[in-house]
Amino acid sequence: MDSIVVVGSIALDSVRTLWGESNEALGGSAVYFSLAASHFARVSVVGVVGRDFPREHRHMLAEKGIDLGGLKVLPGRTFRWVGKFGRDLSDAKTLSTQLNVFSKFRPRLDAQQRKARVVFLANIDPDLQAGVLDQMRSPALVACDTMNYWIASKPEALRRLLARVTIFFVNEEEAKQLSGQPNALRAARAISQWGPRVVIVKKGEHGALMKAGERFYAFPAYPVESVKDPTGAGDTFAGGFMGYLASSGAYDDVRHLKRAMLYGATLASFNVEDFSTRRLENLRRESLDGRFSEFLEALAVSEDNAKRAPLII
């Protein structure tokens, strides 16, 4: 099993949806990713918080086995995001962004982190993401995420970064924006020509598309009837994917890539059931594996299964 270094944001989020709200709750890309990935692998976080960051959050993450040695505490306030979701849960409306100490974030890896075999570069400035790779010795697997802000403001830096990346996570609209292509398949193909061997296009409640090699694979989302808060679902998906893949050690095996997609979707389905990281904090591995098995069974299709399946109408 390979350990994972994740570099990204740690935040205090205030979120309002049709089903309620949370105020200054734990959030950030590195947090959601780590809580998901920690079910499979050792995770080391590189991030920054202010002196106001609640001690109980540090304790919870440490109790999950997440290494916080790379978490820097600076004078000032922790990064804060305020947003809301309407009926369209794929459309987050940002009401306020306060970078605070995150504006001074310059990732620095320690000696052990530089030797890590797996690294996930969460959504930060592509120049900072490249700087992390410059510090690493010879990672076996490099994955990254991005957002529309960096696509619009630093497209060339992002393309240079993608030449050094194995797996690229991006949502559907961002994939179209980055590639200039009209649909997810053509966007994934165009992006793969810039370097990534695997391109994963996240489509929210409609699942995800993976281009691995020359083939495309489509996966549904796990059906969730009551979605309270979609914040962090994409980072949770990436954490489940990368955590499982790190535990398998088989980064080029499409069978493991496909299982990683389903583990990512399964973890994301738990995440959206409650606000902030509450559901992930209380998630036991038995529950995760149980839902994963249900997911596999629901997706299983064969002639033999079709002959035995009962009619439902």
Once rounded to an integer, what is the mean pLDDT over residues 253-270? 96
User: From CA 86, how far away is CA 280, in angstroms rounded?
Assistant: 23
CATH number corresponding to 4-301: 3.40.1190.20
pLDDT tens per residue, range 116-127: 999 999 999 999
Over range 161-184, report the average pLDDT: 96
**pLDDT tens track for 102-142:** 999 999 999 999 999 999 999 999 999 999 999 999 999 99
Domain definitions of the chain by residue range:
4-301
- Helix spans in the chain (H): 29-37, 55-63, 111-114, 126-135, 148-153, 155-162, 172-179, 184-192, 233-248, 254-271, 278-281, 285-299, 303-308
pTM for the model stands at 0.94
Q: What is the per-residue pLDDT for 59?
A: 97
Q: 28-32, 36-40, 249-253 — which is least confidently predicted?
A: 249-253
* Dihedral of alpha carbons 106, 131, 171, 294, sign: negative
The percentage of the chain sitting over the pLDDT mark of 90, rounded to a whole number, equals 88
CA–CA distance, 306 with 79 (Å, rounded to integer): 52
Reported confidence tier of residue 311, pLDDT bands at 50, 70, 90: very low
**d(C-alpha 41, C-alpha 3), whole Å:** 6
pLDDT higher than threshold 80 for residue 309: no
